[in-house]
Structure 1
Amino acid sequence: MFGRIGRFAVLRPWVTISAWLIAAVALAALAPQLKPTSDQAEFLPSHYESVQAAKAQERAFPQHEQPAAVAVFQRTDKKALTESDKAAVAKVATGLQGKGLTKVKAVVSSPEAVSPNGEIALAQVLATVKDPYDPELGESVKKLREEARSLLAGTDLTMGLTGAAASAVDAKEASGDTDGMIMSATLLLIVVLLLVIFRSPLIAILPVVIISLAFMVATGLISTAAELGGLKADASISAILIVVLFGVGTDYILFLLFRYREQLRGGQDPKQAMISAVALVGETIASAAGAVVVAFLALLLSTMGMLRAMGPSLAISVAVALLAGLTLVPAVFSLLGAKAFWPSKAWKKEPRNALAGKVGSAAAKRPAVIAGVTAGVLAVLAVGALSFKPAFDADSSLPQDLESVTAMKDLQRGFSAGQTDPTSVYLEKRDGTALDQAQLEAFGAALKIEGVGEVSPAVPGANGSVAQYSVVLKYRPTEDKALDLVSGPLRDAAHRAAPEGTRALVGGTSAVLGDISTAVTRDYTVVFPAAGLAIMLILGLLLRSVVAPLYLMASVALGFAATLGATVWLFQGGSGEKGLLFTLPVVVYLFVVAIGTDYNILMVARLREEIGAGRPPREAVRRAVTASAPTISAAAVILAGTFGVLMLAKNSMLQQMGFAVAFGILLTAFVMALLLVPTLTSLLGHRAWWPGHKKTLPATAGGAPGTATGTGPAGSSAGDGSRTDDRSLV
């Protein structure tokens, strides 16, 4: 099948290229724009209490407004505010409201918004939108800060903006243009590394052009699928798509070009060499892509809409990368032929691959020692994963000199930390009749538990059957103490105090994050095993083996734990972080387990090919490692480098993500794919391929059964290229 695909693309290159160009232009022109959302409550299933509380608010309090930001006023000398200071606060708030900024409904202050110690005054910034990450609202927050400086001139006051919208603005600026940074780093790494490997400007640039075209097609398909299927894309999906498509796409191009070069060295003409290359590695690339696709699609089993939306988007990207690798790449390079390598002539000579040869020889000679050492190192690193503590407090990862951070500290000198985003508690009469005043008072009193700073009087809804309480916590809404309090003692107290015939619902930011924590924990126990089983099935079909997929997945699981453990050691231990990004296990799963499995698949496919040529297991290991090391190394460095650039960000959570993925990819490539997997295969010998292994199999294309043809480093060139036989990969 893959030989036929390669033949069509190579013999009809302009048809193939034209089809891709038409698809890219059409999708760019006609596909709708992605509509990202950062409202995490929208991503939770309806049975979670925080979602039910939000629905109760919409029914009973449709005009309810939460402050998007809070202006914190204080004297420059930190002393108590005077009456003239309080008057100045009111004047500044009125002046800011008069600016008529986009999506800012009002800037409200009152004499009651002064702290009990008299040192801090607040003004609430009310917005016309709920999403604190709204771009236009963010621009208005910046203008509020600028306008406040002139309004404060001549007073003894300073003002800082904090709260959700202000923190969102500061987080974005602290992180810089993450998408642009990732894109620039990715393109630079691809171009430089391909230039070093192939010494050809065309080969360095063409993959970037090809993947850029595939990126247009993928984003168009994703936005169309989102529009037709009603899916939502998380705000971070664009950055992830860049990495997935460029990283995976480059991997598949490298897999193909290295084998194409082997075929040319074996004496085939360029067109036949490309057809043979597609036939030889097409199944490997398709299997690698299939493993990644099913791993991403396993996210559909998640309870969180954020992950359910991300899964199909990433799967579409990988499928497009696969299609481009098998059709567009062969078509483009068939037009260039050997001129693609210009001006270098090194492609004509067999590379020495001295280091790769030494690694292959060591893996073949001392498999038990190398397998034991590598497994031991991975196990030690994996111990750290047991100490993993998820963190939901994104604000704590920001640089401490940002205005939203310092303003929050100032606010806490006079108010409870939860003043910027109170928790909402609702008491609802089940039969729709009005609540009794005595019941309301008793219920409100029951909410005053340890950790709660203030409980507002009940605010009845339109028909009196629902009442709302604003509960100000002593902790910041996103910190662990707030999440533990709201999802535990506060909910328990509210449920116990609810009179007969009523129900209590606890909502707000802390409640949403607490429910997300529960949902993520549940997802780990469902999504990961499902993805593992699906990947094992694909490996079994590729290798025609029951045994090999078992130890391959065991090594993948060990690599996952080692990656997570190393990140815990570095950040929770070395850097003193209280916790790590709560989605970090999912990120490691997506990019280390799913994509990193590509390298294991490439290695075992080559091992199977060498075994199929009739070679003893240890000789097959030596040849497979020697031949595959350059491809795996180049692909891994590009993908790891892409994520590694995130470590330059000032945001510690981005640093955690960057390190975890970069380290995990390198670990998967250089430790697992090049050392652990080949040595385990060598130790198991022919048993690794049970029940599909036969001692004598057709060799590579054009060769006689049980023999290897060609002069490649692994003896796997496609002979005279007269035919390609998929059975050579069995």
Structure 2
Amino acid sequence: MFGALGRFTSRRPWFVIAAWVVLAVFVVALAPALETTQEESEFLPDHYESVQAVQLLEDKFPEANTTSAAQIVFQREDGGQLTEADQAEITRISEELGPKLGDETFVQQVVTVGPDGQPTISEDGLVQNAFIALADGSTGFDTQAMDDAKAMRDDLADLTEGTDLTALSTGSVPQGLDSQESGERALAIVGIATIVLIVGLLAIIFRSVIICLMPVVVVTLVSMVATGLIGWANEAFDLKADSSIETILVVVLYGIGTDYILFFLFRYRERLRQGADTKAAVVHALERAGEAIASAGGAVIVAFLALLLSSLGIFQAIGPALAIAVAVTLLAALTLVPAIVTVLGRALFWPSKKWRQEPTGARFAKIGDSMGRRPGAFAAASGLLMAGLAVFALGFSPSFDFNSSLPDDVESTEATEISNKHFAAGASELVPVVVSSEDGTLEQADLESFGAALSEARGVSQVYPAQPSADGSTALFMMELDTSPTSDQALEDVKGPIRDAAHAAAPEGAEAFVSGTPGIFADLQEAMVRDYKVVFPVAGGLILIILMLLLRSLVAPWYLMAAVGLGFAATLGATVIVFQHIGGESGLIFMLPIYIYLFVTALGTDYNILMIARLREEAREGKEPRGAAAEAVKHAGPTIAAAGVILAGTFASLMLSGNSLMMSMGFALSFGILIAAFVMSMFFTPALTALIGHAAWWPGHADEKAPKDDDQPERESIQV
């Protein structure tokens, strides 16, 4: 199959290249833009309590100020107490802001008093808050809302000009705007760093100008096609992607794309050194490396597609998006790259002449020989290293606040810090509790009893009087917590005593729903626990099946997957050490374990496939298990090392984004790739295979030399 594909691309390279260019132009011209969202509640299914509360609020209280879309923090420029004249200016600014922005914005009204009718001034008189409710029909997280938030900040600057006041905005919409702008900066930084890193590393490995530029050209074309296809998929299936997906896509496309190009080029260069011409070398390289590349890509794709089983919309969108990106990259590696190489011929390596010389590989040969003599020691050392790090994974503390990852220098972060310094922790956002009766009107006495019971729950500072709906079937309570609504304590309080009290105190025939930020976080936590139990086993099971089909063995795939699982735990443990124990972070973003699992499992399996395939080939040459493992490390080691360094480097570029989510993810994924390449695939897997011996290949006995057919040449196996 791969030989036939190689013959086709080498005979018609210009046709293949033209087809890719036409496809890219078609997709760019017609595909919708890739839309993202920052609203956590949009990631949850409808059956969760916080989402049901939001739906009731939209239905029964369309005009109510239940969610602060934006919060404006006023203070004097000199830091002094607000005077009566200052308060009058704040009232004027608040009254003029909405009309100044116009009717078609997210701003419904600007409120400078709390539910009790008192001005929202801090006890020390230094700061006053104003809250903005969403306009009817606005989500607060669409493109228009982001534009409105930017216009609001400009108008606030105009309205405060000539006064002694400063006004800073925060809340969900301004934070979404800052997240969007921060993401755009991060995308530019990560993109530049990734390209510079890849070009630099390829220059060291190949010393060729053209090879350095090849990933840039190929991935640029691939990204156009992949992004358009993802946009179509999101539109067709109403998928909502997190705003970080664009940055992650850049890293995935460049990292994996460069890896697959490397797998092909190493085999192509090797064949040229043996005297083959360009077309024959292309066919040979694709025939030998094609199965390994396809199997590796297939493992990554099925791992990402397993996210479709997630209950969270963010993963349901990210999974297919990354799967589409990898699928397009895989197709390009098997068609576009061979076509470009065919056209360029030996000029591909210009200006280097060293490509003609066979490297001695002395360093990897020495490592391989040492491991072949003492596989038990290598297996124990590498296994204990990963196990030691894995212990710390038990200390992982999830964080569910996307906005906590914002840089410290953005306006919304500064405004939030000022507000938290001068107001009670729970005053920054009131938590809505909705009581709804299916049978009819709620009685006032029942509502008073409910409010009193709710106020007694642990974690509740105060509960404001009920606001009944127009039809009397539903009531809204606004609740202030003892702690910040985004804190871990608020999440635990809402998940436990507050919801327990609300459910127990609901009038007969009525239900109570607790929402707000801590309610959403509590439901996200519940959904994540469910996803861990479903997504992880399914992704692992699908990769296990791929390994069984590729290796024709029922033994080797099990310890390969066990090794990958150990690599996952070691990676999570190392991240906990660096960010929670050393960095002092209270928690890491809740999505991190799934990202680590998918990338380390899928990409770690890539390197395992390459190493075990070479080991199998050496065994088929008649070598004993230990000798085969030594030769596999000698020959496959340089390829895996180069690919691992490049892919780890691309993921590490995420740490330059200035966003704590991206920094932790960049560290985790780069460390996981290094563990997968240099500990798991280089030492642990071949050492275990050497120890287990021929039994590793049961029942297919794929390590045995196949008998020669007199009529046909022996079929060559995968070689890396």
Write out per-residue CA displacement over residues 112-168 of structure 1, whole angstroms, 9 at most, x where no aligned residue: 223372613221234447555545544544454455455445655443323222333
Conservation of the 8 A alpha-carbon contact between 2:253 and 2:326: yes
User: Which residue number corresponds to residue 453 of structure 2?
Assistant: 446
User: Which residue number corresponds to residue 617 of structure 1?
Assistant: 625
Write out per-residue CA displacement over residues 630-666 of structure 1, whole angstroms, 9 at most, x where no aligned residue: 2212222222111212223333332211111111111
- CA drift of 1:729 comes to 7.7
- Cα 1:275–1:598 shift into 2, 3 Å: same
- Cα 1:35–1:728 shift into 2, 3 Å: closer
User: Which residue number corresponds to residue 75 of structure 2?
Assistant: 74
Structure 2 Cα separation of the partners of residues 508 and 130 of structure 1: 17
Conservation of the 8 A alpha-carbon contact between 2:189 and 2:657: no
Structure 1 Cα separation of the partners of residues 17 and 500 of structure 2: 63
Structure 1 Cα separation of the partners of residues 124 and 204 of structure 2: 66
Structure 2 Cα separation of the partners of residues 504 and 469 of structure 1: 10
Conservation of the 8 A alpha-carbon contact between 2:297 and 2:327: yes
How many pairs were matched up? Answer: 710
1:112 aligned residue (98, 110, 118): 118
User: Which residue number corresponds to residue 282 of structure 1?
Assistant: 290
Residue 91 in structure 1 maps to residue 64 in structure 2: no
- CA drift of 1:485 comes to 1.4
User: Which residue number corresponds to residue 31 of structure 2?
Assistant: 31
Within 5 A, what are the aligned runs for 1:335-414?
Answer: 335-400=343-408, 402-412=410-420, 414=422
Conservation of the 8 A alpha-carbon contact between 1:599 and 1:673: yes
Conservation of the 8 A alpha-carbon contact between 2:38 and 2:176: no
Structure 2 Cα separation of the partners of residues 148 and 538 of structure 1: 58
User: Which residue number corresponds to residue 301 of structure 2?
Assistant: 293
Range moving further from structure 2, 583-592 or 80-89: 80-89
Structure 2 Cα separation of the partners of residues 17 and 694 of structure 1: 37
Sequence identity (%): 50
Conservation of the 8 A alpha-carbon contact between 2:398 and 2:589: yes
Residue 332 in structure 1 maps to residue 333 in structure 2: no
Q: Given residue 39 of structure 1, which amino acid in structure 2 is its aligned partner? A: E
Within 5 A, what are the aligned runs for 1:648-663?
Answer: 648-663=656-671
User: Which residue number corresponds to residue 719 of structure 1?
Assistant: none
- Cα 1:20–1:181 shift into 2, 3 Å: same
- Cα 1:106–1:55 shift into 2, 3 Å: closer
Residue 186 in structure 1 maps to residue 176 in structure 2: no
Residue 434 in structure 1 maps to residue 478 in structure 2: no
User: Which residue number corresponds to residue 552 of structure 1?
Assistant: 560
- Cα 1:254–1:389 shift into 2, 3 Å: same
- CA drift of 1:244 comes to 1.7
Structure 1 Cα separation of the partners of residues 714 and 331 of structure 2: 20
- Cα 1:153–1:332 shift into 2, 3 Å: closer
SS in 2 for 1:505: strand
User: Which residue number corresponds to residue 568 of structure 1?
Assistant: 576
Within 5 A, what are the aligned runs for 1:288-687?
Answer: 288-400=296-408, 402-412=410-420, 414-431=422-439, 433-448=440-455, 449-687=457-695
Conservation of the 8 A alpha-carbon contact between 2:653 and 2:666: yes
Structure 1 Cα separation of the partners of residues 590 and 245 of structure 2: 17
SS in 1 for 2:618: helix
Conservation of the 8 A alpha-carbon contact between 1:543 and 1:689: yes
Range moving further from structure 2, 155-164 or 219-228: 155-164
User: Which residue number corresponds to residue 712 of structure 1?
Assistant: none
TM-score, with structure 2 as normaliser: 0.93
Conservation of the 8 A alpha-carbon contact between 2:17 and 2:340: yes
Range moving further from structure 2, 559-568 or 238-247: 238-247
Q: Given residue 275 of structure 2, which amino acid in structure 1 is its aligned partner? A: G
Write out per-residue CA displacement over residues 60-103 of structure 1, whole angstroms, 9 at most, x where no aligned residue: 12333432211122345666543223212212323434532654
Write out per-residue CA displacement over residues 288-346 of structure 1, whole angstroms, 9 at most, x where no aligned residue: 11111111111111111211122122111111111111111111111222221122121
Conservation of the 8 A alpha-carbon contact between 2:302 and 2:543: yes
- CA drift of 1:538 comes to 0.7
Q: Given residue 100 of structure 2, which amino acid in structure 1 is its aligned partner? A: K
Conservation of the 8 A alpha-carbon contact between 1:392 and 1:479: no
Write out per-residue CA displacement over residues 529-584 of structure 1, whole angstroms, 9 at most, x where no aligned residue: 11111111111111111111111111101100000001111111111111111111
| Aligned residues: CA RMSD | 2.5
Structure 2 Cα separation of the partners of residues 444 and 152 of structure 1: 40
User: Which residue number corresponds to residue 725 of structure 1?
Assistant: 715
Write out per-residue CA displacement over residues 468-488 of structure 1, whole angstroms, 9 at most, x where no aligned residue: 111122322221111111121
Q: Which runs of 5+ in 2 are unaligned?
A: none
Q: Given residue 121 of structure 1, which amino acid in structure 2 is its aligned partner? A: Q
Residue 239 in structure 1 maps to residue 247 in structure 2: yes
TM-score, with structure 1 as normaliser: 0.92
Q: Given residue 67 of structure 1, which amino acid in structure 2 is its aligned partner? A: S
